[in-house]
Amino acid sequence: MPHPRPPYLQREETRYRKTVWYVRKERHGPRIRLKAEYGSEEFWQQYQDALSGLVRQRAKASAGSLAWLVERYRETSAWTDLSLATRRQRENILRHVLEKAGNQQASKITRGHIVEGRDRRKATPTQARHFIDTMRSVFEWAAEAQLLKADPTAGVKYPKQPKTDGFTAWTEDHVAAYESRWPIGTRERVWLGVLLWTGLRRGDAVLVGRQHVRNNEISIETEKTGMKVTVPNCAGARCDLASGAVR
């Protein structure tokens, strides 16, 4: 029996008999084309980005503006060589930055502006670090490409990370309580099974699905390293993504 098509995914054939795929969340809303090969890791990443709103139609940026500079940066290997997970994270940061200052001339952005952006995120130090890393990658490339005379992120320090005990590690009692709340066959139970028995990072665990299952074996290319990971027999047949069951 064929698997149902994921939500909002539309298939269309051109007059040249080429198959193209789109995501449309609203009946009369805009369509977002997925350019990667169907079924590939990049295809499903683009699908998830389209659902979450990270892919947007961009108006043409004026030459020399920050938006224009970011567009040029996205065309380089400095951007495309980053992992899909890193690009997705930085795309989200750039979206907010460009909404606020995309029309500003890139040459007018100073170290003070970068520090201000860092300090606005001081309540979440990790987010502030990601902001600095994202802007530094753009401006370091721009300075090296001689599109700017100087890198305004040079010398900007990371915020101090607060000392914490980290996340609470679940005990067997926690797992048992969760399993008693969510029975076999529910999505919540599948989610627990994937986390417990595949060994995948969180970023990969949220992407793994039926498209990665062949002959009861999970195979997925990880976001962070690009390494192909295989989980034989779905870790002892405890989680079955193809049928949506955990046992």
Q: Structure pTM?
A: 0.59
Q: What is the pLDDT of residue 2?
A: 53
Q: What is the pLDDT of residue 102?
A: 92
3-state secondary structure the chain: CCCCCCCCEEEEECCCCCEEEEECCCCCCCCEEECCCCCCHHHHHHHHHHHHCCCCCCCCCCCCEHHHHHHHHHCCHHHHCCCHHHHHHHHHHHHHHHHHHCCCEHHHCCHHHHHHHHHHCCCCHHHHHHHHHHHHHHHHHHHHCCCCCCCCCCCCCCCCCCCCCCCCCCCHHHHHHHHHHCCCCCHHHHHHHHHHHCCCCHHHHCCCCHHHEECCEEEEECCCCCCEEEECHHHHHCEECCCCEEC
Task: Quick: pLDDT tens for 186-223.
Answer: 989 888 888 888 888 887 888 888 888 888 788 888 87
Task: Quick: pLDDT tens for 133-169.
Answer: 999 999 999 999 999 999 999 999 999 887 877 778 8
